Chains A and B, each alone.
Chain A
Amino acid sequence: MFMSAVRRDFRDEELLADVIARLIGDARHVAVGNASPIPATAALLARAQNGNMRPHVSLLQSRRHNFFTDGARELFDCAGQGRIDVFFLSGGQIDGYGNINLVSTGDYAHPAVRFPGSFGSSYLYYVVPKVILFRTEHSRRTLVPQVDFVSAPGTSERNVYRTGGPVALVTNRCVFTFTGGRFRLASVHPGHTVEEVIENTGFDFDLPDAVPATPTPTPEALRLMREVVAPQLAEVYPRFTAEVFGPPQSAA
């Protein structure tokens, strides 16, 4: 993923999880949906760093990291009341307006490519205050001028009930923040360049005069991910955990 000669003692996934953990910041409740191993790592890291069970972390497919007892709808009811502060969404396509597409490309009736489906995005994007978008393939194929299908829009008309939406987009190359209906390049990961980001992004975004490098994970963050988070993550993402963090260690 990174074509870098920089000497590093962490993996790409660890950098991205660390970046997302910083974006989570101080929150009471972070929920993580399906197929989101890097955000799940980040949420568990944020909790391990705080060390006081804050934020509450709900991994939707987990038994241990999931306190819901009223069925799968409880998450959505919780979000509707504003009881979920942070959620993560991705998309087969993401455009410069923050619209995400989890359904298909081409004509909806005769799709060229079919993705799994919108999951909870068409609701959660509106009602979770801090939605962090992530996409580990940063290319003109995925970051497009306009999505072919809007699973959920980045912004809404003034009269539409909306207490949430996107705050940032994290990719394998950089971090964008989202304000005023547009993305702004916030930092570029070590080993990558602003030119490369421009070349591989299909939408227009705001470009500050100076773009800092994304901070790298501290030794303590890496230790927490490898020793505390990895054994917790293995329950839901056995393949990802084995690939990124190596063979299972005894639970911390």
Chain B
Amino acid sequence: MPCANVTIMFQAAKSLDEALAAIDDATTLVVPREVSGVPMAATRALIRRGVKNLHLIALPTSSLQADLLIGAGCVATLETSAVSLGEFGPAPRFVAAATSGAIRIKDTTCPALHAALQAAEKGVPFMPLRGLIGSDVLKYRNDWKVVNNPFGNDDPIVLLPAIHPKVALFHAPMADRCGNVWIGRQRELATMAHAAAATIVTVERLHDGNLLEDPILAAGTLPAFYVDAIAIAERGAWPLGLPDHYELDAEHLSLYARMAASAQGFAEYLDKYVYERRAA
């Protein structure tokens, strides 16, 4: 199984913590929406390590991951278009932090995050986007500008500066020993990786063979060129689901929603499900 242009086979990280080493305090970290491969095992590892002051970008929304990181005190700034637990209700630690002022929130709208990461992906300084004019989302974003469409006539349009995350972090079904990662149709994961300075991936398993040699798999593959570290984490999205692989754990998410409703219940949740190792 030759890896094109690579003489040394990609080494999967010895541990999750080793793979996550590049995420230090105050990292600008981009993570995917709740249904696209959320790295929950990695998230718990970051909380155990006590990472602080993250600038967390959830592309374009988040659920349990943002709520856990915020509740555990890992986040200084949150940039996203929404956080909720969906059918399981509001995201309680996000709501508590937003109302107490414990975190800074850069409210945005889904396509604005996609567009700003696409600008970084293309190496251009900004991207224009329709909508937004007359909204308070625009009013509170002094990093955005309204200009007149230079190709039009009296046509105001919003410009969004490119977002350059330091690290993109996500969970995917599989990687090969060349370091290629199969993301399937979750193409926003590729955008995240293209835009970020470094990409860290957890995967369910290793694939035997080179993903880029099979044209069907290659179309859904993020090449090793963009990937800096890979760790194997079976059921690494749990209790969220992994598209086409496993469903979310509804019972556990109900439990989380109940426990995280209070600060004390949330602390008990962390003890039981995040710092679980000592109990085992």
Question: Residues of A with Cβ closer than 8 Å to B?
Answer: 34-35, 61, 63, 68-74, 76, 80, 102-104, 108-127, 149-153, 156-157, 159-161, 237-240
Question: Residues of B with Cβ closer than 8 Å to A?
Answer: 33, 35-36, 59-61, 80-84, 86-87, 90-91, 94-95, 98-99, 101, 107-112, 114-115, 118, 129-140, 154-157, 185-191, 243-244, 250
Smallest Cβ distance from B31 to chain A, in angstroms? 13
Q: Which of B107, B114, B186 contacts A118 (CB 8 A)?
A: B107
CA distance A149 to B109 in the complex (A): 14
A-B contact pairs, 29 of them (CB 8 A): A35-B86, A61-B86, A69-B185, A70-B185, A70-B187, A71-B190, A72-B36, A73-B115, A73-B118, A73-B187, A103-B107, A103-B136, A108-B136, A110-B99, A117-B80, A118-B82, A118-B107, A121-B109, A122-B109, A123-B129, A123-B131, A150-B134, A153-B134, A157-B133, A159-B154, A160-B133, A237-B87, A238-B87, A239-B250
> What residues on A are CB-neighbors of B99 within 8 Å?
110-114
Interface residues of chain B: helix, strand, loop or mixed (majority): mixed
B35→A61 contact, CB < 8 A? yes
> What residues on A are CB-neighbors of B84 within 8 Å?
34-35, 116-117
Interface residues of chain A: helix, strand, loop or mixed (majority): loop
Q: Which of B83, B101, B109, B134 contacts A123 (CB 8 A)?
A: B109
Smallest Cβ distance from A201 to chain B, in angstroms? 23
Smallest Cβ distance from A207 to chain B, in angstroms? 28
- The 7 A-B pairs with the shortest beta carbon distances in the complex, nearest first, are A71-B187, A117-B82, A123-B131, A76-B111, A122-B109, A116-B84, A73-B114
A122-B132 CB under 8 A given contacts A72-B59, A111-B98 = yes
Smallest Cβ distance from B229 to chain A, in angstroms? 22
A119→B109 contact, CB < 8 A? yes
A71→B130 contact, CB < 8 A? no
> What residues on B are CB-neighbors of A239 within 8 Å?
87, 250
> What residues on B are CB-neighbors of A152 within 8 Å?
131, 135, 137
A122-B137 CB under 8 A given contacts A116-B82, A117-B80 = yes
Task: Kindly list 15 other residue pairs between chains A and B, CB separation below 8 angstroms, not including A116-B84, A160-B134, A237-B87.
Answer: A70-B187, A71-B114, A72-B33, A72-B110, A110-B99, A113-B99, A114-B99, A116-B91, A117-B83, A119-B60, A119-B81, A122-B132, A122-B138, A123-B110, A123-B130
Q: Which of B83, B108, B129 contacts A116 (CB 8 A)?
A: B83
Q: Which of A71, A113, A124, A240 contacts B131 (CB 8 A)?
A: A124
CA distance A117 to B139 in the complex (A): 15
> What residues on A are CB-neighbors of B133 within 8 Å?
156-157, 160
> What residues on A are CB-neighbors of B90 within 8 Å?
115-116
Closest to A119 in B: B82
A71-B134 CB under 8 A given contacts A34-B61, A118-B108, A123-B111 = no
